[in-house]
Structure 1
Amino acid sequence: MVLLGNCTVLHVIGTEPSLHQPTFYFLAMLDFTDLCMGLSTVHTVLGVLWGFMQKISLDFCIAQSYFIHDLSSMESSVLLVMAFDSIYALFLVIMNLLLDAMLIIISYIVILHTVLAIASREERMKSLQTCVSHICAVLVFYIPIIGLTMVHRFGKHLSPMVHILMGNVYILFPPLMNPIIYSIKTQQIRRRVQKLFSLKAV
């Protein structure tokens, strides 16, 4: 699912000219990082779960730990840049609305009322959807990290299976959920994915 979801979003962004914009480039970077995170650990996880591997070498363990931490840092950086991009886009919308409002300010007493009167419902919903998608992606990334940290810090008495489960959630949950979040919340990607799989576009 991680491979299919992230590769689908990367394919859609790469092949659809209308998606060649900074926002979608950031999303492609996030998907690429998620894909690398999943691929760096999936063979070990599957090998242990299917009984092919009992242990891994120290060198392989160190290399895998390096990739996990490095890719986590990269994903956190991409999410930070996406947050700045969203804030900048919202800032431009608000500034445009305020500049328009200055022309009509004499007829209104409250500036907030002016901004809301000028902004269309569609513009407000689009801004809100962008924020919701980004907040969901941040939560999907940081909640497993916080959960894993809390289990390691306060859960020393817990079964080793809990630690293993939380580690797998931390590594596999964000790469699985990010394509779903952005495919559902971004109309351009959703329509292109539907077209890719020959579904009727909504």
Structure 2
Amino acid sequence: MSEQNSSSFFPVHFLLLGIPGLEHLYLYLAFVFTLVYVTSVIGNVTLLFIIRVDRSLHEPMYFFLCILSSIDLALSNSTTPKMLGILWLNSHEIYAEACLAQMFFLHSFAIMESALLLAMAFDRYVGICNPLRYSSILTKWLITCIGVLSISRAVALMTPLPFLIKRLPFCSTNVIHHSYCEHMAVVKLACADTTFNNVFGLVVALFIVGLDLIFIICSYVLILKAVFRLASKDSRLKALGTCASHICAILAFYIPVVLSSVVHRFGKNVPIHIHILLANVYLMLPPLINPIVYGVKTKQIRTRVKSFLTMHFICCTRVCSNITKTRSVQHSHY
């Protein structure tokens, strides 16, 4: 299973162990994870398609939602296919370069998602606190700049990561006790001082994702102040209703992150499969939840989905009816 060597080396490939301790449940987990993955892809692609074709949805909030769905698709595809390969096909091997690439992309897209949730909090702040200036503040140019800055920040922070891993010596094993190439899971295999890698990962987690969360909380404090100044109860409920989808997206992203971090830092006696399952939930839950929540909570998207499904149902019914009539004519002819 592992490459044994008395001297240090950088392995040609790594072996992802999967979810140790739950091997007897792999088929059940594979079915659930496949269902979640397919639902996530269909949901996010549908959301992107609807916003693309419906010009009434070409507004700042939906542009941010498009970027969020694109990030969710990339986040799902960076880890889930390989994990399903382990569960369905027992395919544990991953080339070192592919492992480093997976690590770079999954952490980069996670940082981008955090930045987008902050941008969407700013969108809700402007929409509720400065509604008359909404269009003049959130222009296409500003939205583009926010998107570019989100991507640039993530790429700049994560570019050193593969090089920091590559400089480490691996002396005895290449078996990663995880279902994907998570940074700290790979670092633990090194037989050298990994203090810098540990500090780098902690700094990124605390001062980037943590800082985004603080700004999101500050935005919602200001939003709540503005909402409770509104005269009528209906106005307050309507204003809060516009934030419901975004709040669900924040909770779906940050709760697994915080829970996974707490269990990792303080849950010394927690079985390893719990750590790995929490890490997988952290990556798979937002892409699943976001399109469902926005589809249900946003009236314009919900209406468009209903009309789209109704139109296709009518078309399918007509096609089936025509086929039946054709077969009936052919049968009577014979």
Q: Give the alignment's TM-score, normalised by structure 2.
A: 0.51
Give the whole-Å Cα distance in 2 for the aligned partners of 1:184 and 1:29.
19
- Partner in structure 2 of residue 4 of structure 1: 42
Distance 1:155 1:58, change over 3 A: farther
- Partner in structure 1 of residue 171 of structure 2: none
Shift of 1:41: 1.1
Gap regions ≥5 residues in structure 1: 96-111
Shift of 1:158: 2.2
What percent of counterpart residues are identical?
42
Give the whole-Å Cα distance in 2 for the aligned partners of 1:114 and 1:41.
45
- Partner in structure 2 of residue 63 of structure 1: 101
| Secondary structure in structure 2 of the residue aligned to 1:150 | helix
- Partner in structure 2 of residue 76 of structure 1: 114
After the TM superposition, which residues 112-151 of structure 1 pair with which residues of structure 2 at under 5 Å, given as runs?
115-116=230-231, 121=234, 123-151=235-263
Shift of 1:198: 1.4
Gap regions ≥5 residues in structure 2: 1-38, 134-226, 312-334
Are 1:170 and 2:282 an aligned pair?
Answer: yes
Distance 1:193 1:175, change over 3 A: same
After the TM superposition, which residues 30-49 of structure 1 pair with which residues of structure 2 at under 5 Å, given as runs?
30-49=68-87
Offset from partner CA, 1:140-198 (integer Å, 9 cap, x none): 11011111111221223322211221111011001000001111110001111111211
Question: Matched residue pairs, number?
Answer: 180
Q: Give the alignment's TM-score, normalised by structure 1.
A: 0.82
Whichever of the two has the greater Rg, that structure is 2
Are 1:14 and 2:52 an aligned pair?
Answer: yes
Shift of 1:114: 9.0
Quote the RMSD (CA, aligned, Å). 2.3
| Secondary structure in structure 2 of the residue aligned to 1:138 | helix
Amino acid at match of 2:94: I
Give the whole-Å Cα distance in 1 for the aligned partners of 2:81 and 2:130.
45
Give the whole-Å Cα distance in 1 for the aligned partners of 2:266 and 2:304.
45
Give the whole-Å Cα distance in 2 for the aligned partners of 1:60 and 1:126.
47
Give the whole-Å Cα distance in 2 for the aligned partners of 1:114 and 1:80.
24
Q: Name the one with the larger helix percent.
A: 1
Offset from partner CA, 1:40-61 (integer Å, 9 cap, x none): 1121110011133123222222
Distance 1:27 1:113, change over 3 A: closer
Amino acid at match of 1:170: Y
Distance 1:26 1:156, change over 3 A: same
Shift of 1:93: 4.2
- Partner in structure 2 of residue 103 of structure 1: none
Distance 1:192 1:156, change over 3 A: same
Give the whole-Å Cα distance in 1 for the aligned partners of 2:228 and 2:278.
47
Give the whole-Å Cα distance in 1 for the aligned partners of 2:132 and 2:236.
10
Shift of 1:126: 3.0
Structure 1 segments of 4 or more deviating over 4 A? 112-115
- Partner in structure 2 of residue 85 of structure 1: 123
Distance 1:57 1:155, change over 3 A: farther
| Secondary structure in structure 2 of the residue aligned to 1:56 | strand
